[in-house]
Amino acid sequence: MPIVNLITKEKIAPENKEVLKKEFADVMYEVAGKSENWLMVRFTEEEDIFFHGQPLEEGGIVEIKLVGKLQRGQKEEISKRICDVLNKVLGYRKDNIYIVIQEVEGQNWGYNGSTF
């Protein structure tokens, strides 16, 4: 059950959210083998983001949390593809996109009154 949380300074148009949701699902399935049936996507918009002590005018932070472990190559591919998607859909420069991948043991992830 991966969660992809995109944190941005600006509001994202609804049609772009649909495209991003689909693209994130494709990346997680094709690279990590995580089905869209279990994928959650969250958009955290209109947040203040600073880098090098200055406001980040365009760009974002992507937090990915998932049950299980990925290989380094998978993480690199996810990072590359997420940057490509955000560049294509929102016009973000790749050097203004920050990605955090957090792997969680199933016992530490609750769902439906139990854990994985």
Average pLDDT value for residue range 54-75: 95
| Interval 80-101: pLDDT, tens | 999 999 999 999 999 999 999 9
Q: Which run of H or of E encompasses 4?
A: strand 3-8
Average pLDDT of the chain to the nearest whole number? 95
**Which residue has 């940057």 as its token pair?**
83
Architecture in CATH for domain 2-115: 2-Layer Sandwich (3.30)
